[in-house]
């Protein structure tokens, strides 16, 4: 019984390559995994590709950062930067940053000067107060407005002299 004998060529060398699929780093291994007959009825090695992809490890999520500022228009604004998504490219994981700026209307205009006269027997006092400086509290996102006031009081008394004197 003289059957045909199929001579098997030597096993091909295993090849390993680094490939990127869907942004992930993968190891593609090409190796002989089986034998088969080709169209010429010769025994050949069947090559199989085994690909292992590793999920990249993302760094810790960065902390949110805030910046409070007042625009030249007077608007009080808060700029927030925070990590809002992951980006996986070339086997590396990074964080996508989002910037959000929210603004409030400007502080109210400078209040009008106020004055008052108090009269008592033999004494007249005039009080005046006015806003002289605007401060914006940037220690919180509320950014509250506050006017600082100055006041002056002048009194004149009747001492019996022809003119009232400052007292």
Q: Is residue 8 part of a domain?
A: no
* 59-110 per-position pLDDT tens digit: 999 999 999 998 999 899 999 999 999 998 888 899 999 999 999 999 999 9
> Which 8-state DSSP code applies to residue 62?
P
Is residue 5 in some structural domain?
Answer: no
- Tens of pLDDT, residue by residue over 10-28, are 888 999 999 988 888 899 9
pLDDT at 147 over 80: yes
Q: Are 76 and 70 within 8 A, CB to CB?
A: yes
Confirm whether 109 is domain-assigned: no
Residue, of 136 and 112, whose pLDDT is higher: 112
Q: Is the pLDDT of residue 160 over 80?
A: yes
Give me the domain span that covers residue 21: 15-53
Residues 125/117, Cβ–Cβ less than 8 Å? yes
pLDDT of residue 6: 59
118 and 162 belong to one structural domain: yes
Going by C-beta distance under 8 Å and a sequence separation of 6 or more, which residues neighbour residue 137? 143, 144, 145, 146
- How many domains are contained in the chain? 3
The verdict on 48 and 70 lying in the same domain is no
Question: Is residue 91 situated within a structural domain?
Answer: yes
Rounded CA separation 84/81 (Å): 9
């Amino acid at each position: 019984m003289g059957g045909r004998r199929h001579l098997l060529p030597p096993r091909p060398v295993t090849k390993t390559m680094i490939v990127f699929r869907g942004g992930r780093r993968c190891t593609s291994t090409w190796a002989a995994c089986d034998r088969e007959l080709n169209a010429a009825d010769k025994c050949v090695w069947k090559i199989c590709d085994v690909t292992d992809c590793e999920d990249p490890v993302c760094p810790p999520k960065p902390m949110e950062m805030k910046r409070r500022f007042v625009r030249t228009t007077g608007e009080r604004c808060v700029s927030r930067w925070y990590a809002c998504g992951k980006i996986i490219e070339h086997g590396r994981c990074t964080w996508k940053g989002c910037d959000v700026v929210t603004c409030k209307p400007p502080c109210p205009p400078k209040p009008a000067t106020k004055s008052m006269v108090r009269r008592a027997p033999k004494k007249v006092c005039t009080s005046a107060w006015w806003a002289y400086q605007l401060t914006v509290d940037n220690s919180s996102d509320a950014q509250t407005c506050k006017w600082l006031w100055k006041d002056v009081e002048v009194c004149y008394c009747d001492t019996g002299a022809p003119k009232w004197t400052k007292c």
